Chain A
Amino acid sequence: MQSSNMINYDYSVAKCFAIATIVFGIVGMAIGVLIAFQMAYPELNYLAGEYSTFGRLRPLHTDAVIFGFILSGVWSTWYYIGQRVLKVSMAESPFLMFMGKLHFWLYIVGVAVVVVTLFMGITTSKEYAEFEWPIDIVIVLIWVIWGMGIFGLIGIRREKTLYISIWYFIATFLGVAMLYLFNNMAVPTYFVAGLGKWYHSVSMYAGTNDAMVQWWYGHNAVAFVFTVPIIAMVYYFLPKESGQPVFSYKLSLLSFWGLMFVYLWAGGHHLLYSTVPDWVQTMGSIFSVVLILPSWGSAINMLLTMKGEWGQLKSNPLIKFMILASTFYMFSTIEGPIQAIKSVNALAHFTDWIPGHVHDGTLGWVGFMIIASLLHMAPRMFKREIYSKKLLEAQFWIQTTGIVLYFSSMWIAGITQGMMWRAADQYGNLAYSFIDTVNVLHPYYTIRGVGGLLYLVGFFMFSYNFYKTMTASKAIEEEPQSASPMAA
C-alpha cells in the first residue's frame, strides 16, 4: 500500500460524477417525495398540467434515482477506486482521460434527453427500461465507453491481482450490458411502415414472453445496479475507512460466485401466479430463498471486518453509515426471499409492501453506502477535511428515522390492502369494494411521504456538507491513512 502515495491519481472524472450524484439524487428524491404525497393528496397531480401527473412522474422518479443518482455514484466511485486498487493513474494515459470525460458528458446529454422525453410521455412502459430506441443507442454507447475505460485501466495496471471491488465492477459492466440489450430489443416502426413517429418502436416479445424477459431484466437490474456495484464500494471503503482488513477472503470469493450464479434465476418471483410456466415460477421462488446465502455472506463479511473495532461506530459517523447500510442489506435480502415464497407473495404482490421492500434496500443500503463513499472520497479528492461532523450525525438520525417511517408504514399498508382484497363476508362474497381498500391507506401514505421527506432533508444536509468540504473546509497536508478527518 505504500506505493499508492507515490502515484498521483487523477480524480477529475470522479469529481464530475460525484457532483452529478448529488444533483440527480436531489432531483430524483424530490420527485419521489412529490409522488408519495400525491398518493395521499391527489390534488398534487396538477402542479404542472399533464406533466405532473403520477403516471408521468413515476418513471421519472425511478429512472432518476437508478440511472441518475445510483449510476453516477457507481461511476464516481469507480473512477476513484479503479485507479487506486490497480495502482495506476488515469493521467498516465491521455486516451483513458479522454474516454472518462467523454463518458461523463455523453451521459449528461443522455440524462437531459431522458428527462425531456419522460415528461412528454415518450416511454416503452417497461419498468426501468422506459427509453425509446434512439436513447437506448446512446446508452449502449455510454456503456461501451465505460467498458473501454475499465479494461483499458486494467490493461495498464501495476497491481496484477484484481481486488474484490474490481470483480464486482466487471460484473456490473457485463451484467447490465447483457440484460439491457436483450430486454430492449424492439423494432422501430417508422423504418418498417414509413409512417408515424420516428422514435416509436414495438417490442420484439409479446405478452407472457415479454413479461418474462422484462422481469428477468427488472429483477437483475436490481442485482447489477443496487447490489453488485454497491458491494464493490463496501469492500473498498469500509476497510479503508476503518483501517481493518477484510475479514475473510474465502467468504468474499464464495459470496461473489454464489451471487453471480444464483441471482439470475430469481426473476421469476415477480411473476408468481401469472401466466408464465409453473416451473419458472417455482425456480424463481426457490432461488430467491437460496439467494440469502451469498447476500448474507457479503454482509457478514463486512460486519466481521469490524470485529474488535466496534468503538469506531461511536467515533466515526462514516463507519456508522456503512455498518447500517450493511445491516439494511441483510434486512432487505431476507425480506425479499420472504416475499418470494408463493403463499406470502399471493398476499404481498401488487401491494405497497413491495415499494416498501425496495426502499429499505435503496434508501438504507444503496443511499447510505453512496453517501458514505462520497464523503470518504471528498477529503482525498479535495485535500480538505469534512466540513462538519455534527451535521453528519444529525443527517444520520434524520435519514434513519425517514427510512423506518417509510418501510413500517408500507408494511402495514401492504398487508392491510392484501388482506382486504381477499376478505370475504359470511356468505363468501367480497367484503370490501376496491375504494375501501384505497381510503384505508391514507394515513400510511401520509407517513410514508413524511419519511421520504426526512430522507430528502438529510440528503440536502449531505449536499451542503459535501459542497462546503469541497470549497471552504480546512485544507489537509497529507492524505489520511484511514478515518477521514472532519471538523466538529
Chain B
Amino acid sequence: MFHWLEKNPFFFAVGVFVVIAYAGVVTVLPDFMNSARPVVGTKPYTVLQLAGRHVYIKDSCNACHSQLIRPFKSETDRYGMYSLSGEYAYDRPFLWGSKRTGPDLMRVGNYRTTDWHEHHMLDPLSVVPGSIMPSYKHMFSNVADVETAYAEALTVKKVFNVPYDEKGMPKLGTYDEATKMALAEAKPIVDDMKNPEVKEAFARGEIKEIVAIIAYLNSLK
C-alpha cells in the first residue's frame, strides 16, 4: 500500500518528518508561556550564586543529585515543600537531574550551613561516614569565574527580560559594580570558613570556587 512512497525518497522523508515533528509541537507549545511564569517571591540568581551554579554544572553534581521534590509525603518529609513550576523560572538550564545517588538539593539551603558544606565538600567521609560522594579539594584552589557569570546574567537580562535591577530584585549594574557586589556577598561566607588558602585568596580579591558554590547551595530554599 505504501509502495509508491518507498520509491519516492523525497516524499518518504517529508512523511517521516511530519509524523515525528508534530508530537513535539503539540506537547511542548500549549503550556509554554504558563510554565515560564515565576512564582511570586522567586528571584533571579545573584552573580556570585550564578558563578556557583556554574561550578555545580562544571562538576556535574546533577549526575548524582536531583533538584525536584515530588509531591509525596516521604519526599516532603525528607526535603521540604514539593516543587512548583514557577520556582524554576530563572533556571537556565534546569537542574532537576535524573538520578539520586545523593539526596535532593532543591532546598538544601534550609538545613545545611556554610561551615557544614566546607567540611563536607573537602572530605564527605569526615562528615557522613559511609558517604560515596567524591571530595572536591580542587574547588579550594580553583578560582570562580565571576566574569562569565556576569556575562550570563547580563545576557538573560537583555535577551529574556529577566528582571535584574528592578525593584526588589538583585542588582546587576556594570561589571565593576557587579564584581564589588560579588565580593561583598562572598565576605560573610569566607568569614564563616576556616580554610586559610581560601581566606588568603579572598584578601587578595579572589573568590575560590568553593565560596561560589556554597553561596549557590545556601540560596537553594
On whether the beta carbons of A42 and B132 are closer than 8 Å, the reply is yes
State the Cβ distance, A120 to closest chain B Cβ, in Å.
Answer: 8
- Contact segment of B19-27, B110-118, B197-205: B19-27
Q: In the complex, given contacts A58-B63, A161-B7, what are 12 additional A-B residue pairs having Cβ atoms less than 8 angstroms apart? A: A122-B58, A123-B60, A162-B6, A206-B90, A206-B92, A207-B87, A208-B35, A208-B94, A212-B27, A216-B24, A275-B35, A276-B35
Please tell me if B180 contacts chain A, counting CB pairs below 8 Å: no
Interchain CB contact (< 8 A) of A196 among B21, B58, B142, B148: B148
* Chain B residues within an 8 Å CB radius of A273: 70-72
Please tell me if B221 contacts chain A, counting CB pairs below 8 Å: no
Which residues of A207-234 have CB atoms within 8 Å of chain B's CB atoms?
Answer: 207-214, 216
Please tell me if A479 contacts chain B, counting CB pairs below 8 Å: no
On whether the beta carbons of A151 and B9 are closer than 8 Å, the reply is yes
State the Cβ distance, A264 to closest chain B Cβ, in Å.
Answer: 4
Which among A56, A189, A349, A352 has the highest number of chain B CB atoms within 10 Å? Answer: A189
Please tell me if A9 contacts chain B, counting CB pairs below 8 Å: no
Known: A192-B154, A260-B20. A125 touches B27 (CB 8 A): no
State the Cβ distance, A181 to closest chain B Cβ, in Å.
Answer: 11
Please tell me if B177 contacts chain A, counting CB pairs below 8 Å: no
* Chain B residues within an 8 Å CB radius of A380: none
State the Cβ distance, A421 to closest chain B Cβ, in Å.
Answer: 6
Bound: A318/B13 CA distance, A: 32
On whether the beta carbons of B7 and A162 are closer than 8 Å, the reply is yes
23 A-B pairs in the complex with CB atoms less than 8 angstroms apart: A53-B59, A55-B64, A55-B134, A56-B60, A58-B63, A125-B62, A161-B3, A170-B9, A175-B20, A178-B20, A195-B154, A206-B92, A207-B85, A207-B91, A207-B92, A208-B94, A210-B94, A213-B28, A214-B94, A261-B19, A352-B99, A355-B99, A421-B74
* Chain B residues within an 8 Å CB radius of A122: 58
- Contact segment of B156-164, B182-190, B211-219: B156-164
* Chain A residues within an 8 Å CB radius of B154: 189, 192-193, 195
* Chain A residues within an 8 Å CB radius of B206: none
Please tell me if A200 contacts chain B, counting CB pairs below 8 Å: yes
B residues in contact (CB < 8 Å) with A: 1-3, 6-7, 9, 12-13, 16-17, 19-21, 23-24, 27-28, 30-32, 34-36, 57-64, 66, 68, 70-72, 74-75, 77-78, 83-103, 125, 128-136, 138, 142, 145, 147-152, 154-156, 158-160, 175
State the Cβ distance, B84 to closest chain A Cβ, in Å.
Answer: 6
* Chain B residues within an 8 Å CB radius of A39: 101, 132
On whether the beta carbons of A162 and B88 are closer than 8 Å, the reply is no
State the Cβ distance, B86 to closest chain A Cβ, in Å.
Answer: 8
On whether the beta carbons of B93 and A210 are closer than 8 Å, the reply is yes
* Chain B residues within an 8 Å CB radius of A313: none
A residues in contact (CB < 8 Å) with B: 38-40, 42, 45-46, 49-50, 53-56, 58-59, 121-127, 151, 154, 160-162, 167, 170-171, 174-175, 178, 182, 187, 189-190, 192-197, 200, 202-203, 205-214, 216, 253, 257, 260-261, 263-265, 267-268, 270, 273-277, 280, 283, 346, 349-352, 354-355, 421-424, 429-430, 434-435, 438-439
**Secondary structure class of chain A's binding surface, majority of residues:** helix
Bound: A355/B63 CA distance, A: 12
Bound: A45/B63 CA distance, A: 14
Which among A46, A125, A346, A422 has the highest number of chain B CB atoms within 10 Å? Answer: A125
Bound: A174/B9 CA distance, A: 13
On whether the beta carbons of A203 and B138 are closer than 8 Å, the reply is no
State the Cβ distance, B17 to closest chain A Cβ, in Å.
Answer: 5
* Chain A residues within an 8 Å CB radius of B149: 196
Bound: A49/B95 CA distance, A: 25
Known: A207-B88, A346-B72. A127 touches B16 (CB 8 A): no
On whether the beta carbons of B85 and A275 are closer than 8 Å, the reply is yes
On whether the beta carbons of A274 and B138 are closer than 8 Å, the reply is no
On whether the beta carbons of A124 and B93 are closer than 8 Å, the reply is yes
Known: A151-B9, A192-B155, A202-B156. A350 touches B100 (CB 8 A): yes
On whether the beta carbons of B57 and A125 are closer than 8 Å, the reply is yes
Bound: A200/B70 CA distance, A: 31
On whether the beta carbons of B92 and A205 are closer than 8 Å, the reply is yes
On whether the beta carbons of A55 and B61 are closer than 8 Å, the reply is yes
On whether the beta carbons of B66 and A350 are closer than 8 Å, the reply is yes
On whether the beta carbons of A54 and B64 are closer than 8 Å, the reply is yes
* Chain B residues within an 8 Å CB radius of A190: 151
Which among A124, A171, A205 has the highest number of chain B CB atoms within 10 Å? Answer: A205
Bound: A123/B93 CA distance, A: 11
State the Cβ distance, B78 to closest chain A Cβ, in Å.
Answer: 6
Interchain CB contact (< 8 A) of B131 among A58, A170, A423, A438: A438
Known: A207-B91, A253-B2. A174 touches B24 (CB 8 A): no
On whether the beta carbons of B77 and A430 are closer than 8 Å, the reply is yes
State the Cβ distance, A250 to closest chain B Cβ, in Å.
Answer: 9
Q: Taking CB as reference atom, which chain A residue is nearest B10?
A: A151
Bound: A349/B151 CA distance, A: 35
Bound: A50/B59 CA distance, A: 9
Known: A207-B89, A209-B32. A200 touches B152 (CB 8 A): yes
* Chain A residues within an 8 Å CB radius of B61: 55
On whether the beta carbons of B95 and A125 are closer than 8 Å, the reply is yes
Nearest 3 pairs of A and B residues by beta carbon: A207-B88, A196-B151, A196-B148
Bound: A122/B60 CA distance, A: 10
Which among A50, A56, A126, A422 has the highest number of chain B CB atoms within 10 Å? Answer: A50
